Structure 1
Amino acid sequence: METMKYSNGEVTILWKPKACIHAGVCVRTLPKVYDPKARPWIRLEHATTAELVAQVARCPSGALSVQQDVEKDE
């Protein structure tokens, strides 16, 4: 199953389009982040990491998930 990835440097939001039931919880919760008319439709810079993690936890289908980004040695 295809997975789209969107990162803010702290977390990566994983979206599985085929699992999405389009309940709209994401759009209603964080409309500045999730805009189905925009490309890309997920713009993480419009919310804090904590807000993103909390919203993803409310996704009824599990189409959205969170992956912690690993810090790279400089």
Structure 2
Amino acid sequence: MELQLLLILIIAFLLLGPEGMLNLATKLGELARQARDIIDKCAVFNDGRTRFYKNAAAFTQSYIPVLVTDK
């Protein structure tokens, strides 16, 4: 596993160079932050009988109760 990761990093260094690797790492970090923000905005809260979906589309931070029917 470690050898495979090292091989990938060596190939990336040869193809992209040090500045290209830094740019790629920066873009991947931004993508990870955006994905985490999307997941946080669409979080599901479950209290047993009712699931509360955080309404990411609304400007207010309201919660929409949805009846659970899969029990």
Give yes or no for TM over 0.5. Answer: no
TM-score, normalised on structure 2?
Answer: 0.27
TM-score, normalised on structure 1?
Answer: 0.26
Structure with higher helix content: 2
- Which has the larger Rg? 2
